[in-house]
Amino acid sequence: MRKVKAAIAIENTTKRYSNKAQETILALDNVSLHVPQGAFIGLLGPNGAGKSTLINILGGISLKTSGRVAIWDRDIDIDPRNASAAIGIVPQEIYMDNYFTPHAMLELTAGLYGLKKSERWNDTLLEQLGLADKKHVYARALSGGMKRRLMVAKALVHRPPVLVLDEPTAGVDLILRKHLWEFVKEMHANGTTILLTTHYLEEAEALCEKIAIIDQGKIVAYDKTSSLLKRLATKSLIVLHRKKTEKNYSQNLILPKHTRIVATTKNSIELCYNPQKVAIAQLLDILQKNLDIVDITTKEPSLEEVFLQITQKELN
């Protein structure tokens, strides 16, 4: 089977820098990451894990200490200009000249990339991102959501085959998030490789085919999203039952090993169990002997639970 070429190839990359106290900080520790062409990859990690450092290296903003990085098979050290032309980055921070209009901003960006008038698709970008009616309005008059969509348009002016989205929906309302993701999914369907960082883990779970988790400067997991979810060897069983007069009825339940009670109310009980060690039929038999069951639902583990298990940290 033919090996898919890498859209982003990061090999044994390390980044060290000194802080104000002249202490050496290891931001990236021998990181390797292969993003295939046409993939939609999530890059997750706690604050300070190294995500922004990695993205800054891809964008040429920060210099790596050692290792190799290539974008669309173009080494950022040997061929920095063409490597830069192959990637568009939407940064987490919104920065733009408030006295430029969206149209003028995209025209300027296109000029910086040396695009001819016939090669420009600025009006199409503004239309697709819902900014056509604001194309001649000063940026200072745009809402936060509009400014973020304009940042996406700027990153796509030169039609890069690789798009990096760093927290693109931070501070964006639900409707705008939905519209933005519809646009991004369309870009991906048309062949754009996408690398996404987000704190909305339900977004990563729904959109990304593979997830890379970085923690303390190291890639600690990189696998298909479905495979990562299977790593968490627990499921939840939620049982709705008829009202009990006994206050602490849950204490009378003799449950098997690898099972614990997560929460109880007068009318429900939630259990967490390991399906590889405990059969659900065994649990139901115990519950039916002690409770008048009305309804039962099971809950699969979420990406957030997997993330917390791997990093052993709470999200900020």
Average confidence (pLDDT) per 10 residues, the chain, 316 residues: 80 91 89 97 91 94 96 96 95 89 96 94 94 95 91 96 91 82 94 93 90 94 86 77 62 80 83 81 84 82 74 53
HSE toward the beta carbon, residue 183, CA cutoff 13 A: 23
Strand arrangement of the beta sheet that strand 66-71 belongs to: 24-36, 6-18, 66-71, 74-75
Are the CB atoms for 156 and 129 separated by under 8 Å? no
List the one residue out of 20, 93, 16 whose CA is nearest residue 57. 16
Question: Does domain 6-230 match CATH 3.90.1150.10?
Answer: no
pLDDT score at 314:
41
CA distance 51 to 39: 18
Beta strand ranges found along the chain (DSSP E): 6-18, 24-36, 40-44, 66-71, 74-75, 87-90, 162-166, 193-197, 210-215, 218-224, 235-241, 259-264, 268-273, 293-299
Residues of the chain with CATH 3.30.70: 234-300
Are the CB atoms for 196 and 35 separated by under 8 Å? no
CA distance 269 to 241: 8
pLDDT score at 132:
95
Residue that has been written with the tokens 């239309």 in this structure = 127
Q: Dig out the tokens for 297 from the structure.
A: 């639902």
- Return the amino acid letter for 102: P
- Beta-carbon contacts of 9 under 8 Å, excluding residues fewer than 6 positions away, are 34, 35, 68, 69, 70, 71, 73
In sequence order, the β-bridge partners of residue 293 are 241
Q: Dig out the tokens for 295 from the structure.
A: 């309804």
Q: Which region holds residue 294: left if phi is over 0, alpha if psi is between -120 and 50, else beta?
A: alpha
List the one residue out of 159, 156, 182, 187 whose CA is nearest residue 169. 182
SS3 label, residue 316:
coil
Strands 210-215 and 40-44: parallel
Residues of the chain with CATH 3.40.50.300: 6-230
pTM beyond cutoff 0.85: no
What value, to the nearest 5°, has the Cα angle with vertex 250 and ends 246 and 256? 150
Torsion sign (Cα): 73, 78, 79, 84: positive
Give 241-282 as a 3 state SS string: ECCCCCCCHHHHCCCCCCEEEEEECCCEEEEEECCCCCCHHH
234-300 has which fold? Alpha-Beta Plaits (3.30.70)
> Residue 206, Cα to own-chain centre: how many angstroms?
10
Torsion sign (Cα): 288, 291, 294, 297: negative
List the one residue out of 155, 172, 45, 183 whose CA is nearest residue 90. 155
